[in-house]
Amino acid sequence: MTPLPPCPQCQSAYAYEDRGMLSCPECGHVWAPGAVVVADSAARIIRDAHGQVLQDGDTVTLIKDLKIKGSSTVVKVGTKVKGIRLVEGDHDIDCKVPGIGPMQLKSEYVKKVTD
C-alpha cells in the first residue's frame, strides 16, 4: 500500500481515499489522485455572482440581504462596498461594510460595480 499524498490546500497528512477521490478531513478539500494542483495563490481566480473577475480594490454591491451571524443586524441588498481585499478560504472577500464594520463575504453574493 502506497502512502497517500498530503492535502494540497492545508498540507494535512490525514488525507483518505473515498470512492476514487482523495479527501481531507481537516479542510474538506476533495481532489483526484495524481491531479496537478497549482499552489500559486495568484493563479486563483475569484469571480462575482455574474462571472466578472474580482481584484483587490474593486467596488462591489450585495445582491442578497445577508444576516450577520450572532446579531440581529442585516446587510441590505444594494449595499456598496469599496476597496475589497481577496483572501483564501470559504469567505473570499475581506472588506469594511459601511455602517457595520469589518467582515468577510462570499463572492457568490456580490456584483462588481463598473464605473
pLDDT at 115 over 60: yes
* CA separation for the pair 62, 73 (Å, rounded): 15
In the predicted model, what is the mean pLDDT of residues 64-82?
93
* CA separation for the pair 106, 88 (Å, rounded): 11
- Give the residue with greater pLDDT, 110 vs 20: 110
| 6 burial level (CB within 10 Å; 0-12, 13-18, 19+) | middle
Strand, helix or coil for residue 57: coil
* CA separation for the pair 94, 19 (Å, rounded): 35
pLDDT band at 37 (very low <50, low <70, confident <90, very high): low
Phi, psi for residue 108 in degrees, rounded to 5: -70, -10
